[in-house]
Structure 1
Amino acid sequence: MTEVRNNHGHGHGHGHGHGGPIPVGPVAARVVVGLLVAIGIAVLAGAVALWPSSRSIDIPLPFQTSGGGAVVTEAGTVTLQDIGPCGSASAGKPFTGSPQPPPNDSYNCQRSLIDIESGPNEGTTTLLEIGPGPGQPDLRVGDNIRLVRQTDPSGATVYSFEDFARGLPLLLIVAAFVIVVAVVARWRGVRALLGLLVAFAVLVGFMLPALLDGQPAIPVALVGGAAILYAVLYLAHGVSLRTSSALLGTLASMLLAALLSWVTIEMTHLTGLSEEQNTNVQTYIEHVSITGLLFAGFIIGSLGVLNDVTITQASTAFELADLDRNANRRQIFGSAMRVGRDHIASTVYTLVLAYAGGALPLLLLFSVAGRSINDVLLGDAVAIEIVRSSVGGIALALSVPLTTAIAVMLARPPRSGAAAAVTARSGGRHAR
Structure 2
Amino acid sequence: MGADHTHPAPPTPPGVRRLLVAVVVPLFVITVIAALVLWPRQDREPVGGADVPRYHGTVTRVVTEPCPPTPEAPDGGGGPCGTVTVTAEQGPDAGRQVETPIPAGPGAPRVAVGDEVVLVELTDPADPAVKSYNIAEHQRGTPLIWLMVLFAAAIVAFGRWRGLAALGGLVASFAILLGFVLPGIGAGQPPLLVAIVGAALIMFVVLYLTHGITAQTSVAVLGTLGSLVVTGVLGLLATSATHLTGFGSEDATTLSMFQGDVDLHGLLLAGIIIGSLGVLDDVTVTQAATVTELAHANPGLSRRQLYRAATRVGRAHIASTVNTIVLAYAGASLPLLLLLVADSRPVSEILTSEFLAQEIVRSAVATLGLIAAVPLTTGLAAIVTTAGRRSRGAEPAAPAARPPAGRDDALEALGGGKSTEAAW
TM-score, normalized by the shorter chain, greater than 0.5: yes
2:56 paired with 1:75: yes
The 1:161–1:390 alpha-carbon spacing in structure 2 relative to 1, beyond 3 Å, is same
Kept in 2: contact 1:78–1:141 (CA 8 A): yes
Name the counterpart of 2:259: 285
For these two proteins, the number of residue pairs brought into alignment is: 385
Q: How far did 1:420 drift?
A: 3.6
Q: How far did 1:171 drift?
A: 1.1
Residue 189 (structure 2) aligned to one of 215, 235, 239: 215
Matches of 2:80 and 2:360 in 1, distance apart? 47
Residue 47 (structure 2) aligned to one of 56, 59, 63: 59
Kept in 1: contact 2:109–2:136 (CA 8 A): no
Counterparts of 1:224-243 in structure 2 under 5 Å? 224-243=198-217
Unaligned runs of 5+ in 2: 69-78, 401-424
2:22 paired with 1:49: no
- Structure 1 moving runs of 4+ over 4 Å: 6-10, 414-419
Matches of 1:7 and 1:278 in 2, distance apart? 44
Matches of 2:278 and 2:334 in 1, distance apart? 22
Kept in 1: contact 2:303–2:386 (CA 8 A): yes
Q: How far did 1:174 drift?
A: 1.2
Residue 21 (structure 1) aligned to one of 4, 10, 15: 10
Kept in 2: contact 1:245–1:314 (CA 8 A): yes
Name the counterpart of 1:30: 18
Deviations 1:319-344 (A, max 9, x none): 11111111111111111111000001
Kept in 2: contact 1:144–1:164 (CA 8 A): yes
Kept in 1: contact 2:12–2:388 (CA 8 A): no
Matches of 2:53 and 2:23 in 1, distance apart? 48
Counterparts of 1:180-199 in structure 2 under 5 Å? 180-199=154-173
Kept in 1: contact 2:249–2:355 (CA 8 A): yes
Matches of 2:215 and 2:188 in 1, distance apart? 38
Residue 141 (structure 1) aligned to one of 113, 116, 119: 113
Kept in 2: contact 1:225–1:299 (CA 8 A): yes
Name the counterpart of 1:123: 95
TM-score (norm 2): 0.85
Matches of 2:93 and 2:380 in 1, distance apart? 63
TM-score (norm 1): 0.84
Matches of 2:293 and 2:173 in 1, distance apart? 29
Identity %: 41
The 1:260–1:417 alpha-carbon spacing in structure 2 relative to 1, beyond 3 Å, is closer
2:307 paired with 1:350: no
Residue 366 (structure 1) aligned to one of 334, 337, 340: 340
Kept in 1: contact 2:12–2:215 (CA 8 A): no
Deviations 1:1-29 (A, max 9, x none): xxxxx96567xxxxxxxxx8345482x44
Kept in 1: contact 2:80–2:102 (CA 8 A): no
Matches of 2:19 and 2:335 in 1, distance apart? 48
- The alignment partner of 1:36 has SS state of helix
Name the counterpart of 1:155: 128
Q: How far did 1:357 drift?
A: 1.2
Counterparts of 1:92-131 in structure 2 under 5 Å? 109-130=81-102
Residue 148 (structure 2) aligned to one of 170, 174, 177: 174
Q: How far did 1:31 drift?
A: 3.2
Matches of 1:371 and 1:351 in 2, distance apart? 27
The 1:184–1:318 alpha-carbon spacing in structure 2 relative to 1, beyond 3 Å, is same
Name the counterpart of 1:94: none
Q: How far did 1:417 drift?
A: 12
Q: How far did 1:382 drift?
A: 1.1
The 1:271–1:127 alpha-carbon spacing in structure 2 relative to 1, beyond 3 Å, is same
Matches of 1:109 and 1:310 in 2, distance apart? 56
Q: Which amino acid aligns with 1:187?
A: W
- The alignment partner of 1:413 has SS state of helix
Q: How far did 1:387 drift?
A: 0.4
Name the counterpart of 2:230: 256
Taking only aligned residues, the RMSD between alpha carbons, in angstroms, comes to: 2.4
Name the counterpart of 2:364: 390
More displaced stretch, 274-283 vs 294-303: 274-283
Kept in 1: contact 2:100–2:132 (CA 8 A): no
Name the counterpart of 1:402: 376
Unaligned runs of 5+ in 1: 1-5, 11-19, 88-106
Kept in 1: contact 2:199–2:277 (CA 8 A): yes
Q: How far did 1:120 drift?
A: 2.6
Deviations 1:114-142 (A, max 9, x none): 11111232111221113754433221111
Q: Which amino acid aligns with 1:316?
A: T
Q: Which amino acid aligns with 2:244?
A: L
Matches of 2:390 and 2:107 in 1, distance apart? 73
2:247 paired with 1:273: yes
Kept in 2: contact 1:76–1:145 (CA 8 A): yes
Matches of 1:207 and 1:152 in 2, distance apart? 39
Deviations 1:245-301 (A, max 9, x none): 001100110111111111111111112323111111112211111111111111000
Matches of 2:390 and 2:142 in 1, distance apart? 63
- The alignment partner of 1:412 has SS state of helix
- The alignment partner of 1:346 has SS state of helix
More displaced stretch, 283-292 vs 51-60: 51-60
Kept in 2: contact 1:233–1:243 (CA 8 A): yes
Matches of 2:394 and 2:139 in 1, distance apart? 67
The 1:420–1:123 alpha-carbon spacing in structure 2 relative to 1, beyond 3 Å, is same
- The alignment partner of 2:143 has SS state of helix
Q: Which amino acid aligns with 1:126?
A: V
Matches of 1:337 and 1:375 in 2, distance apart? 39
The 1:276–1:412 alpha-carbon spacing in structure 2 relative to 1, beyond 3 Å, is same
Q: Which amino acid aligns with 2:54?
A: T
